[in-house]
Structure 1
Amino acid sequence: MISNRMKKLVNNNSVIRQMFEEGKKLKEKYGEENVYDFSLGNPSVQPPDKVNLAIRKSLEINSIHNYMSNSGYEDVRQKIAESLNLRFNTKYSNKNIIMSVGAAGGINVTLESILNPDEEVIVFIPYFMEYKNYIENYNGKVVEVLCNENFEPDMEDFEKKITSNTKAVIVNSPNNPSGIVYSEKIIGELARILKMKEKEFNHTIYLISDEPYREIVYDNINVPYLTHYYKDTIVIYCYSKSLSLPGERIGFVAIPDEVEDSEELIQALTIATRILGFVNAPSLIQKAIAECVNITCDMSEYEKNRDILYNGLIDNGYECKKPQGTFYLFLKSPIQNEKEFCNIAKKFNILMVPGSSFAMPGYVRLAFCTETKIVEKSIDKFKELMDEIKKNAI
């Protein structure tokens, strides 16, 4: 008999994954070119050639398949530290970097290291719903903060939700699912409130910056680097999106020296990597990443897809904000029940994820990281879908 918690999770399996599996069945039935699968954020752009060359080169290292430090190869961590210092004017060294099994692994080892039972972690609606599972993995409590009509945090609600039991706040910008980027003004106000609350409650409140989409931004929008605003910031990053390597599960956690008790925290994350069963991040791809820390894949296809999809939806009477980053668009459902809207869309072979999966009913998420020709063809289907909605409303 499985545990009660896992039984609940099995019964409420990820809607995103369910839609992805449904998409595979539809593609087998109708052909890939006739299914408009906007469900899973699976990068469509190929990794840079340099990545594959670096992987092949890494295979020539005699000890490539051996164990290493739980925090990862020292030379890899040093190259990442130097790259961050160059880009963001930080002062990292290899000791500040812990290699992780993707951003998900990084978040889990961080939460394992800082959370006591029943301590609270604040998240901003809409948010990636796996955060809830990660927090509950370590008996923490999720506290949700409301957003405004632009999907920006409601700062008044944020201030109210911070209590003496608050241990951490998770920020995801560029944001999944909304596609917005939190401005310097927003980050500055968030930092001001956190500093005030740290002083009021006389204990550390960590700011966890989850940054898998940092490199996917449009229109020259700036993504603030949070350590410059708030000293107790832990940065979590992965190469799944920037180098199109989601299956390789490789990322890192960066802990600045300025973080309260940083040395002890670094030790805790290193041990958590071991005891959670990760042991260390994948060896081969670590070495390959070291050769690719200053490059990204070509993001121009995502920007092209964004423009085609956004303009096509607006022209056909849909309501949505133009994404500033990521490869997601958060669309307002034209009917009250967005799950029903998703079901109707399936009749037109359009797959989307209900906003309730991100704690925001009434919206749907579209992942436009797919072939441009699929995005182009989908516009006529979205028109047919809207016509169907209007016909049923009469």
Structure 2
Amino acid sequence: MAISTYIKETMTSRASGVIRKMFEEGIQLKAKYGAENVFDFSLGNPDLDPPESVFKAAEELAEVRESNFHGYMPNAGYPFARKAMAEKTSAEQGVPVDADCVVMSVGAAGALNSLLKAILNEGDEVVVPAPFFTEYRHYVKNFGGKLIEVPAAKDFSIDVNAIAASLTDKTAAVIINSPNNPTGRVYPEENIRDLVSVLNAHAASGKRKPYLICDEPYRAIIYDNKKVPAIFPLYDSAVVVTSFAKNLSLPGERIGYICVNPVCPDKDDVVAACTFTTRILGYVNAPAFFQRVVSKCWNAYVDYSLYEKRRNELMEVLDAAGIEHLVPEGAFYMWCKVPDNFDGDDMEFCDYLKKYLILAAPGSGFGGKGWFRLAYCVAESCILNSRSAFKKAVEDLKK
């Protein structure tokens, strides 16, 4: 007997699962050297506590003893949960959104998989600006699709001309993620408008009209008065997928949703298909308890200024060490350039950093060779105490 050849090759490849591998290696290093001596920037695991309203809602709901309170509901989710997410999306998008546009999901990852299962035929292509969240490769491959990785512009905005050149009659969708993981870039509205023009022109030429999938779990975490543009008023065939993993610090609860633009020409078919794929993929439905929780507190106020403070502190650390980096506009990731000594080999450089007990994610896993990612959703002490380690790591390269 043997496992799938594809799975075996993928899970054992050096670039596969780099984030989780680093995270697990960090656990071992902390056990060996002490947690305070290991600087683990590998995993985007938000360390802000959920807002008090989440705890309060969970406590109140835990006391309920109604019959079937924890039972099945329609595959698309509780009607009240769908209505709440429609209200949330309407506030973000600036257009009226009804509950029948929403399918509750098992996190943003479950949302993406349900949606891609619903829209992809064997051999279809999904275009994404690179760098991108590494799991997109697997999600598209899961359903017989091919991920087309298109390098971003020099400033890590969307290279619209490059996207235009990548579109074919097999293009089923384009995925954008803003604020972006791993760069922290927030795509400006003009950039999105240019992308929409390209997609509309592609459709007007008689080709299949691509869905524009907006992966937005970091939407609320932005800095310097940036704003994530609303997509529904700009493109009818847009779909938002998101979760409460990052904005409410609930990654382990696996609660999110899909919302289809209410003016999408085949909105009813897409919603019905996502409802069906949620079932046949084995999710069955989004977690019942946390559908109830987020319905009560989706609009809870959260102060993200601590992430901004950590961003600034980490930039100071990297500047002192002489490591080139972007200035994140949102999310909680720092995108850093590999020093010239390594000739763009980010895997080798991240292995080198381990000698100084620094854990970083190689950029190749994100489609960004020559770069590496640092997640700064970590204790402030981790950032501040890493200063000497980063500095020594770079200084030793000059010897």
What residue in structure 2 maps to residue 5 of structure 1?
6
1:270-349 equivalences under 5 Å are 270-334=275-339, 335-336=342-343, 337-349=345-357
For the pair 1:124 / 2:129, whether they are aligned, the reply is yes
What residue in structure 1 maps to residue 57 of structure 2?
54
Q: In 2, Cα distance between the equivalents of 1:22 and 1:79?
A: 40
What amino acid maps onto 1:156 in structure 2? N
TM, length-normalised to structure 1? 0.97
Q: Deviations for 1:57-108, whole angstroms, at most 9, x for unmatched residues?
A: 1223323210000000101111221232234322111111110000000000
Q: In 2, Cα distance between the equivalents of 1:314 and 1:100?
A: 41
Q: In 2, Cα distance between the equivalents of 1:119 and 1:253?
A: 21
Residue 44 (structure 2) aligned to one of 38, 41, 54: 41
What residue in structure 2 maps to residue 23 of structure 1?
26
The structural deviation recorded for 1:202 is 4.0
The structural deviation recorded for 1:52 is 1.2
Query: Is contact 1:204–1:260 with CA below 8 Å preserved after alignment?
Result: no
Segments of 4+ in structure 1 off by > 6 A? none
Q: In 2, Cα distance between the equivalents of 1:180 and 1:84?
A: 21
RMSD: 1.1
- Percent of aligned positions that are identical: 42
Q: Deviations for 1:99-118, whole angstroms, at most 9, x for unmatched residues?
A: 00000000000001000100
Query: Is contact 2:74–2:285 with CA below 8 Å preserved after alignment?
Result: yes
For the pair 1:368 / 2:376, whether they are aligned, the reply is yes
Q: Deviations for 1:299-343, whole angstroms, at most 9, x for unmatched residues?
A: 111111100001221232111111001100010001322222111
Query: Is contact 1:46–1:297 with CA below 8 Å preserved after alignment?
Result: no
What amino acid maps onto 1:28 in structure 2? A
Q: Deviations for 1:10-49, whole angstroms, at most 9, x for unmatched residues?
A: 2134111110011001111111111100000000111111
Q: In 2, Cα distance between the equivalents of 1:9 and 1:202?
A: 33
| Unmatched runs of 5 consecutive residues or more in structure 1 | none
What residue in structure 1 maps to residue 166 of structure 2?
161
What residue in structure 2 maps to residue 197 of structure 1?
202
What residue in structure 2 maps to residue 219 of structure 1?
224
Q: In 1, Cα distance between the equivalents of 2:74 and 2:184?
A: 36
Q: In 2, Cα distance between the equivalents of 1:338 and 1:242?
A: 29
Query: What SS does structure 2 have at the residue aligned with 1:117?
Result: coil
Query: What SS does structure 2 have at the residue aligned with 1:212?
Result: coil
Q: In 2, Cα distance between the equivalents of 1:149 and 1:389?
A: 27
Query: What SS does structure 2 have at the residue aligned with 1:7?
Result: helix
Residue 115 (structure 2) aligned to one of 110, 114, 137: 110
The structural deviation recorded for 1:296 is 4.5
Q: In 2, Cα distance between the equivalents of 1:260 and 1:207?
A: 13
Query: What SS does structure 2 have at the residue aligned with 1:51?
Result: helix
Q: In 2, Cα distance between the equivalents of 1:390 and 1:362?
A: 19
Q: In 1, Cα distance between the equivalents of 2:11 and 2:147?
A: 20
Q: Which moved more, 1:352-361 or 1:147-156?
A: 147-156
Query: Is contact 1:129–1:359 with CA below 8 Å preserved after alignment?
Result: yes
Q: Deviations for 1:355-385, whole angstroms, at most 9, x for unmatched residues?
A: 1011111100000000011111111211111
What residue in structure 1 maps to residue 358 of structure 2?
350
Query: Is contact 1:101–1:250 with CA below 8 Å preserved after alignment?
Result: yes
Q: In 1, Cα distance between the equivalents of 2:388 and 2:120?
A: 49
Query: Is contact 1:99–1:281 with CA below 8 Å preserved after alignment?
Result: yes
Query: Is contact 2:94–2:230 with CA below 8 Å preserved after alignment?
Result: no
Query: Is contact 2:130–2:150 with CA below 8 Å preserved after alignment?
Result: yes
| Unmatched runs of 5 consecutive residues or more in structure 2 | none
Q: In 2, Cα distance between the equivalents of 1:205 and 1:78?
A: 27
Query: Is contact 1:121–1:135 with CA below 8 Å preserved after alignment?
Result: yes
Q: Deviations for 1:248-292, whole angstroms, at most 9, x for unmatched residues?
A: 000000012211211111111101100000000000011000111
Query: Is contact 2:39–2:359 with CA below 8 Å preserved after alignment?
Result: yes
For the pair 1:65 / 2:65, whether they are aligned, the reply is no
Query: Is contact 2:82–2:102 with CA below 8 Å preserved after alignment?
Result: yes
Query: Is contact 1:91–1:256 with CA below 8 Å preserved after alignment?
Result: no
What residue in structure 2 maps to residue 245 of structure 1?
250
Q: In 2, Cα distance between the equivalents of 1:87 and 1:131?
A: 24
Q: In 2, Cα distance between the equivalents of 1:298 and 1:371?
A: 16
Q: In 2, Cα distance between the equivalents of 1:260 and 1:159?
A: 22
The structural deviation recorded for 1:148 is 2.1
Q: In 1, Cα distance between the equivalents of 2:301 and 2:33?
A: 34
Q: In 2, Cα distance between the equivalents of 1:232 and 1:87?
A: 17
